[in-house]
């Protein structure tokens, strides 16, 4: 499957999953050191075709395709410019994750072992006016380590080595947010004890070869 058809597939998927409504959200992949393929602005992700994708350079100028690049391309550019291992970016407004973002809460506490291993710490980026430079600037303190971020009063963004990886992080984030939402409706979640958290990090490294960066470790 070509990188273009893969990007289209995951555009449809975020809409089907309800992670975006109407024209919300934007997805992109890095093509090479000069070009990024991104959804154009003002389209429903559920109906994206090849004609709805534009190629932009690392300054956000359109190189190929018709229409304007997504208004949130600055989110994507910040990630690609700062992390060479990131090759795909997904930005959505999933209901539960965005609800936590509107409460001003990131996912920085150790609650679910699998989430800790697959997403690491999910920081909250301070509220910023969409489409301005405030938005990438709000992500800047966390861009060197995070694989997913919550944007205060706005939504979520996830990164991947490929589009599938970025999408699955978004799915995992929204799933965790949904569980936490249910937990809070019947009580209060409990944190994994510090000793067990350390054990988890040790096992992650020795058994799965997952090295968890110091900054990615959960707050305690």
Applying CB under 5 A, which residues contact Zn ion? Answer: 155
What is the phi/psi pair of residue 145, to 5°?
-130, -30
Give dist(CA 54, CA 40) in Å, integer. Answer: 6
- Which residues are CB-neighbours of 77 under 8 A, at least 6 positions away? 36, 58, 59, 60, 136
Identify which of residues 136 and 155 has a Cβ nearer to Zn ion in the complex. 155
Rounded Cα distance between 109 and 124, Å, is 12
The residue whose Cβ lies closest to Zn ion is 155
Question: Nearer Cβ to Zn ion, position 94 or 160?
Answer: 94
CB of 92 vs Zn ion, minimal distance in Å: 8
Choice between 154 and 172, CB closer to Zn ion: 154
Q: How far is the CB of 109 from Zn ion (least distance, A)?
A: 25
CA angle 103, 106, 220 (to 5 degrees): 120
149 beta partners = 157
Least Cβ distance, residue 72 to Zn ion (angstroms): 6
Cβ neighbours of 118 (radius 10 Å): 17
Number of DSSP helices (H) and strands (E) in the chain, helices first: 7, 8
- The least CB distance from residue 153 to Zn ion, in Å, is 11
Q: What does the buried/exposed string (b/e) look like for 51-76 if buried means 16 or more CB atoms within 10 Å of the residue's CB?
A: ebbbbbeeeeebeebeeebbbbbbbb
Does residue 58 contact residue 86 with C-beta atoms inside 8 Å? no
Q: For Zn ion, give the closer residue by CB, 90 or 180.
A: 90
Cα–Cα dist 128/109, whole Å: 23
Instruction: For Zn ion, give the closer residue by CB, 123 or 155.
Output: 155
For the CB of residue 101, give the shortest distance to Zn ion in the complex, in Å: 11
Between residues 110 and 123, which has the closer beta carbon with respect to Zn ion? 123
Closest CB 155 distance from Zn ion, rounded Å: 5
């Amino acid at each position: 499957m070509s990188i273009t058809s893969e990007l289209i597939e995951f555009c449809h998927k975020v809409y089907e999953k309800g992670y975006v409504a109407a024209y919300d959200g934007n997805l992109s992949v890095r093509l090479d050191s000069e070009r990024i393929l991104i959804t154009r602005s003002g389209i429903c992700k559920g109906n994206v075709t090849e004609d709805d994708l534009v190629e932009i350079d690392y300054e956000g100028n359109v190189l190929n395709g018709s229409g304007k690049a997504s208004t949130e391309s600055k989110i994507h550019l910040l990630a690609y410019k700062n992390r060479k291992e990131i090759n795909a970016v997904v930005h959505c407004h999933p209901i539960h994750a965005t609800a936590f973002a509107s409460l001003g809460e990131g996912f920085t506490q150790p609650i679910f072992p699998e989430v800790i291993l697959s997403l690491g710490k999910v920081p909250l980026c301070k509220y910023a006016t969409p489409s301005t430079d405030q938005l990438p600037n709000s992500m800047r303190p966390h861009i060197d380590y995070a694989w997913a971020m919550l944007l205060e009063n706005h939504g979520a963004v996830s990164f991947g080595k490929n589009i599938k990886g970025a999408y699955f992080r978004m799915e995992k984030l929204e799933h965790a947010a949904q569980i936490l939402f249910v937990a809070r409706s019947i009580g209060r979640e409990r944190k994994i004890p510090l000793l067990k958290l350390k054990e988890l990090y040790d096992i992650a490294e020795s058994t799965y070869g997952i090295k968890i960066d110091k900054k990615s470790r959960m707050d305690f």
